[in-house]
Amino acid sequence: MATVKRIKLGSQGLEVSAQGLGCMGMSFAFGPPKPEPEMIALVHHAINSGITFLDTSDVYGPHTNEILLGKLAGFTLYLQSPHVRRWSFQALKGGVRERVELATKFGARFVDGIGKMEICGDPAYVRAACEGSLKRLDVDCIDLYYIHRIDTRVPIEVTMGELKKLVEEGKIKYIGLSEACVSTIRRAHAVHPITAVQLEWSLWSRDVEEDIVPTCRELGIGIVAYSPLGRGFFSSGPKLLQNISKDDYRQNLPRLQPENLEHNKKLFERVNEIAERKGCTTAQLALAWVHHQGDDVCPIPGTTKVENFNQNIKALSVKLTPEDMAELESIASADSVKGDRDMYSHATYKNSETPPLSSWEAS
């Protein structure tokens, strides 16, 4: 197995590979689900390359991405030649499980098919969601369990109270939050230590640096950066929409719409110029920039292709000087990007405040 640096995520004891693997696109959002054997082979390749931190959610599919990862422990891929593959299920449970750190999430669910999304942090739902994820992942314990999105109807203390019970029962090891505002992070952390906050952080999504990141560091909370490649923008540039399927959700991202893309492509071009000087790809440079934010940050780029994974892992070897960082940050300032980073307000930390606990106790 290849050697990838390991980092401590948060101050509660969790250790993960310095780079993770986002698994969402294998089953959800990025066009049709990808062939299962190929995706399982890709995840095995990642593990053998030293990337052991796997990120999923019960809403991806929904459910099918967790089911996919649940088959990992019993799946062996035999490569007879570069062109011939055959696979069979074997009794390997334990061997793979002991080599990975599984992170999944709950709290965002679809109602009426996959049309309308609802956010739920009710205690009964917390427990039912956890039981469902354990079954689909085919594990006894989840390493890192995130609140995927914050239910603004339920005090965060109530949701956290049930998660604390699940930790005490041994069903989850560590608790995380995703897209939570500062006050929510502080209130949640007061109920039970938060190990990691997952947030969107990249060269074109830097708003979290103002108060979310400093708060996490003050409290000893690790940071997991999703979409570190700008949802693929720093991989493909302004041609991204031409390279993805028509039912890929990124077709509707505000920053990729014509009225914003003409402006945003200038950022890609300037980052690309620096990458050429550094002898790496634009994607590797953008990912390396996230890595250089500190050893408490773990980016989780996602991919469905082995060749893209191999390119992403090379970002760990890209060294940036303070001058490189300053140059990148000068061209990736807050006003260098046009358009919202998400098309749904419920998907951002700026709309994640919950009511006070007293309101729940009084009801």
At 116 the pLDDT is 81
Active site residue 60: yes
Strands 20-22 and 53-55: parallel
Q: Residue 239: exposed, middle, or buried by beta-carbon count in 10 A (0-12, 13-18, 19+)?
A: exposed
CB-based contacts of 292, cutoff 8 Å, min separation 6: 320, 325
- Tell me which residue of 300, 344, 251, 248 sits closest to 28, measured CA to CA: 248
Q: Residue 126: exposed, middle, or buried by beta-carbon count in 10 A (0-12, 13-18, 19+)?
A: buried
> Which is catalytic among the residues 60, 145, 146, 174?
60
Q: Residue 94: exposed, middle, or buried by beta-carbon count in 10 A (0-12, 13-18, 19+)?
A: exposed
This model's pTM is above 0.85: yes
CA–CA dist 21, 47 (Å, integer): 9
At 115 the pLDDT is 67
Beta-bridged to residue 15, according to DSSP, are 8
Cβ–Cβ < 8 Å for 39, 7: no
DSSP letters, 186-202, are HHHHHHS---EEEEE-B
At 117 the pLDDT is 87
Domains, the chain, ordered by start: 19-362 (3.20.20.100)
Beta-bridged to residue 85, according to DSSP, are 79
Which residue stretches of the chain have pLDDT < 70? 1-2, 73-94, 113-115, 345-346
- E strand intervals along 107-148: 108-111, 116-119, 142-147
At 79 the pLDDT is 41
CA–CA dist 242, 298 (Å, integer): 29
At 87 the pLDDT is 47
